[in-house]
Amino acid sequence: MSLDAQAAFEAAVAPYRRELLVHCYRMLGSPHDAEDLLQETLLRAWRAADRYDASRSSLRTWLYRIATNACLNALQSARSRPLPSGVGEVFTDPDADFVPGTEVPWLVPLPADPEAGAVERSRLRIALVAALQLLPARQRAVLLLREALELPAAEVAAALDMSTAAVNSALQRARTRLAEEGVDPEGQAEPPAQQRAVVDRYVAAFERADVAAIVAMLADDVVMEMPPMWNWYRGRADYGGFMERVFRTRGTSWQTKPVWANGEAAFLCRRDGEPHSMQVATTSGDLITRLTVHADPAVFALFA
């Protein structure tokens, strides 16, 4: 194709780049893999541009089909990226030894602008993305195509080379599994300002090493996990016990910096000035319902 044609193609696909990246991320659970698959999607689309038929589907739908199939191909040789609370047994002793899980490709959070639309932020909630990783790849693809594009089952079937009955069955199984995980795919993320206000209060208590104030901000069934460790805890008592352990064994000299991840308020955490973790908080009202502590230095670097 000519340079003019290439420029026209790039201008046509530009409005869909961000949402395609989010789609690939939700399929794969890794920002780096999502970026690679976005580039592969656009390359495939460019090579097939002369065969695109606008009378058969919109450009957006066509691009999503290419992206989804590229992700499915990638997932044939790659493992899903869960979080510890989705695949491991809960720990009940806050003083238990840390159990490294470096053999698992854990979910990596996606840097996300708080100014992103409410729909994007809701679809990027870390609990939802983590739950999606527990679904078989085709169930994941069916759910996302039906959710993001609201495509009829017949069109999803054509895009994924499945029967319509198989698509409907996969969709029902996917929704059932998410319900079992306590995740509502239609749930809405808290407004950014409200999230940040809650997390700022949590961070202030954390920097004071005030365990009582931290516990007062937690939901009864709060989850705290820390990939790449298998250790994870549920409930205010064990969460508080773990925080007492942290301050007892790691000291109280902590510094934080606010960031945003997966459409949720987060913060970088340093201990005595040295990088420690990137922590993502999920809020509901004035309470923390989940804290995901990413202790992998590569995740800290991604956000720093």
Number of domains in the chain: 1
C-alpha to C-alpha distance for 162 and 115, rounded to whole angstroms: 37
Q: Is residue 268 part of a domain?
A: yes
Q: Is residue 22 part of a domain?
A: no
Residue 147: predicted pLDDT = 83
Q: What is the pLDDT of residues 146-159, one digit of tens each?
A: 987 888 999 999 88
Q: Parallel, antiparallel, or unpaired for β 287-294 and 218-225? A: parallel
286 φ/ψ angles, rounded to the nearest 5 degrees: -100, 10
Split at pLDDT 50, 70, 90, the class of 1 is low
* Residue 266: CATH number of its domain: 3.10.450.50
Q: Parallel, antiparallel, or unpaired for β 232-234 and 218-225? A: antiparallel
Residue 183: predicted pLDDT = 93
Cβ atoms of 98 and 20 within 8 Å: the answer is: no
As a residue count, the chain comes to: 304
Burial 260-295 (b: 16+ CB within 10 A, else e): bbbbbbbbbbbeeeeebbbbbbbbeeebbbbbbbbb
- Range with lowest mean pLDDT among 102-106, 111-115, 165-169, 212-216: 111-115
C-alpha to C-alpha distance for 211 and 242, rounded to whole angstroms: 10
Q: Is residue 159 part of a domain?
A: no
Split at pLDDT 50, 70, 90, the class of 117 is confident
Q: Mean pLDDT across the chain, nearest whole number?
A: 95
Q: What is the pLDDT of residues 8-21, one digit of tens each?
A: 899 999 999 999 99
C-alpha to C-alpha distance for 226 and 278, rounded to whole angstroms: 10
* Residue 224 vs residues 131, 196, 211, 238: alpha-carbon distances, Å: 15, 18, 14, 9
Residue 205: predicted pLDDT = 98
Domain assignment of residue 244, given as a range: 80-134+185-304
What is the arithmetic mean of pLDDT over 32-49?
96
Q: Parallel, antiparallel, or unpaired for β 254-261 and 232-234? A: unpaired
Q: Is residue 215 part of a domain?
A: yes
Q: Is residue 103 part of a domain?
A: yes
Neighbouring C-beta atoms of residue 109, cutoff 10 Å: 27
Q: What is the pLDDT of residues 118-134, one digit of tens each?
A: 889 999 999 999 999 99
Residue 4: predicted pLDDT = 78
Residue 82: predicted pLDDT = 96
Cβ burial, residue 58 (10 Å; 0-12/13-18/19+): exposed
225 φ/ψ angles, rounded to the nearest 5 degrees: -140, 165
Cβ atoms of 197 and 264 within 8 Å: the answer is: no
Q: Is residue 289 part of a domain?
A: yes
C-alpha to C-alpha distance for 129 and 109, rounded to whole angstroms: 9
Q: What is the pLDDT of residues 179-214, one digit of tens each?
A: 999 999 889 999 999 999 999 999 999 999 999 999
Q: Is residue 167 part of a domain?
A: no
| Global pTM value | 0.94
Establish how many alpha carbons lie within 13 A of residue 256's alpha carbon, considering only the half-sphere containing its beta carbon.
22
Residue 92: predicted pLDDT = 97
| 80 vs 242 pLDDT, higher one | 242
Q: Is residue 21 part of a domain?
A: no
Q: What is the pLDDT of residues 56-111, one digit of tens each?
A: 889 999 999 999 999 999 999 888 899 999 999 999 999 999 999 999 999 999 99
Q: Residue with structure tokens 């590569």?
A: 298
Q: What is the pLDDT of residues 257-283, one digit of tens each?
A: 999 999 999 999 999 999 999 999 999
